[in-house]
A and B are shown apart, each in its own frame.
Chain A
């Protein structure tokens, strides 16, 4: 008597039963061959029978939610020649497999001494968090032209710390949903690295703006950050560190970052007059640097009036 495998899929992963009898009954009642915990399943839901000619017959016993194959409800018994036989009993998906069914290749755990591993270590997590604290404190110090008191300093510092904490908790929740683990070090490392990068970029960009005398570097980096870098980093985090499904991770990240991406795209459209949108703001390089390092040379007032003014004249603009 050839055996068959019953796969019961659920959010927590599949359960497998090896069955050696020619007939098996599934349902919520405790005297079934396989007992299903799903409340949408009837006490006696269906019977799978192995016929003598090697085919299989599926017969519904349930009036309530019944059996669906490919989304279509079936009333009469269905006979198939080949396995797998896939059907839904209520909300539970069940696959009847042949024991010879080939399983998917083993997924390698990529964190075996590679650079990704450091995210999972407490040492790295604390180091990155310390770096974030240091850089945000420096940024806080630079942007406060007042006599610093511990109270006022920590009030501002607390904001970024709370943001970091909020993100860590969000990642922990994602982590819990995807892998049933609370992976604190990797979440902390990732958030620290992300925020530190953002702060460092924010510190550096004005110098690039000043050097090129153009608001474009900041604009492009900002755009690349929110449209490419951030989504990529988040998807990478979910796939590599949380072993999430690649497609699901990408969809998740896209949905999560869509509002920000929409806002960014609106900015480009407005800055570059795509779609003829209008901006009341004038878009120019307004950065000032204590190190006067730049590509542009200094003009005399005559050169300025002869060169700079005519380039913006609306009277000569193509209308």
Chain B
């Protein structure tokens, strides 16, 4: 909403809640109106304490560091991120993905910090939370006073992200709080400022200059994401392990999260949606968004094809090639009045070709093992295939591909595909069964 010229000038200034102006011209409510105005004036006075980006930058310049992942053989940085003093004077908080290269290959890489004045030194990894993309690193000598942290301000409030984008030097980016995103399982705040590579792990401040989040990722121009500080506060520093063992810790974290996340879906009530003659589960979790994915019909088509595609938005970065916790499912309906069964099935079979999409290669995962069976679902026979492969470096995590195609109808076909990446196999199996039970044939 834009303010009109008749708004009091007060609310043009740094008033935090211009939308809260009560415009009531009834004389009987004048007292109430004055009181409201007074409260608003107080509210408007509060931000006098608010700092601008320059002040926030100057105040925190010494507390934000660059974190380098350095190749031991060449002594040169392989990737960069940012970090800030948190909790203890010698601790820096950053993102898991900033240090993940080091966790993958601790014998090839080492972690180092670089201060804004150019001083640098080695870092040790002391804690990770791969699910929320957080890590803590420790230096030998103290950096300074830890930064104050707090809960994020209300939606719409100004936020300032600090970091070192593309190794161009420490900068600050202003934007607003777009709110905590339910589709990310509350693990991300939407930020309207520009985050760029290298700023990951840097602090996000509110107007008071306290840290409310950690810069984590960007989707496109000015659609950026921040991790709320509450996950940082629950990072346990106690379990100091050698770098090699962090992979085991990460596996455990992701697996526990996946079991809890999938079990939440299995136990939840699902909205259902009808796709021609099949009733199917809709968005099975608040983290899942469904879209129509039907191809554009053309006059010469002798068939009609509809599809719905759903996927979650809270996948977890594990490494360059592994995005885990991805859930992707699609329903496809095809029917025809004109095609002979032989011709119809040629087309139908060509659509039944689900393959798992991922960047994982032979260093990351085993080969898929598949099993194909015919299963009765809601009175219809389905040709179902389940394929799974384990993760080589994170035993206990696996990718699953499930596909079910209805058979037994001459001119009607229905395909259900489901992909889960980096998940717990048995929890995923239960989810598949629950989803299959959710399919209902509409006579």
Binding site for B on A (CB under 8 A): 141-147, 206, 213-214, 273, 277-290, 292, 294, 296-301, 303-305, 307-309, 311-315, 317, 319
Chain A residues, Cβ within 8 Å of B388: 312-314
Binding site for A on B (CB under 8 A): 299-303, 336, 339, 341-349, 352-356, 358, 360-362, 366-377, 381, 383-390, 395-396, 398, 401, 403, 405, 407-408, 410, 413, 425-426, 429, 432-433, 436-437
Known: A280-B358, A284-B385. 5 other contacts (CB 8 A): A213-B373, A296-B373, A298-B375, A303-B375, A313-B388
- Interface SS of chain B: helix, strand, loop or mixed? mixed
Chain B residues, Cβ within 8 Å of A284: 370, 372, 385, 387
Chain B residues, Cβ within 8 Å of A283: 368, 370
Q: Is the CB of A279 within 8 A of B367?
A: yes
| Cβ contacts A to B, 11 pairs, < 8 Å | A146-B300, A213-B372, A280-B356, A284-B387, A289-B407, A296-B373, A300-B375, A309-B386, A311-B371, A315-B425, A319-B395
Q: Is the CB of B374 within 8 A of A299?
A: yes
> Sorted from nearest, which 9 A-B pairs have the closest CB atoms?
A314-B390, A278-B362, A290-B341, A282-B368, A284-B370, A282-B387, A145-B347, A288-B349, A314-B398
Contacts A145-B339, A290-B345; is A312 near B374 (CB within 8 Å)? no
Chain A residues, Cβ within 8 Å of B413: 288
A206 to B352, CA, bound (A): 13
Chain A residues, Cβ within 8 Å of B299: 147
Q: Is the CB of A312 within 8 A of B387?
A: yes
Residue of A nearest to B436 (CB): A301
Q: Is the CB of A301 within 8 A of B344?
A: no
Chain A residues, Cβ within 8 Å of B433: 301, 304-305, 309
Contacts A288-B348, A290-B344; is A304 near B300 (CB within 8 Å)? no
Chain B residues, Cβ within 8 Å of A294: 374
* CB proximity of B378 to chain A, nearest CB, Å: 9
* CB proximity of B92 to chain A, nearest CB, Å: 36
A143 to B376, CA, bound (A): 29
Chain B residues, Cβ within 8 Å of A277: 362
Chain B residues, Cβ within 8 Å of A142: 342-343, 346
A146 to B349, CA, bound (A): 16
Chain A residues, Cβ within 8 Å of B341: 290
Specify which of A213, A287, A304, A313 lies most central, judged by the most chain B CB atoms within 10 Å of its CB: A304
A304 to B408, CA, bound (A): 19
Q: Is the CB of B407 within 8 A of A292?
A: yes
Q: Which of B302, B366, B374, B426 contacts A147 (CB 8 A)?
A: B302
* CB proximity of B336 to chain A, nearest CB, Å: 7
Chain A residues, Cβ within 8 Å of B367: 273, 278-279
Q: Which of B303, B370, B373, B377 contacts A145 (CB 8 A)?
A: B303
Chain A residues, Cβ within 8 Å of B383: 213, 285, 288
Chain A residues, Cβ within 8 Å of B369: 311-312, 314, 317
Q: Is the CB of B437 within 8 A of A301?
A: yes
A309 to B384, CA, bound (A): 11
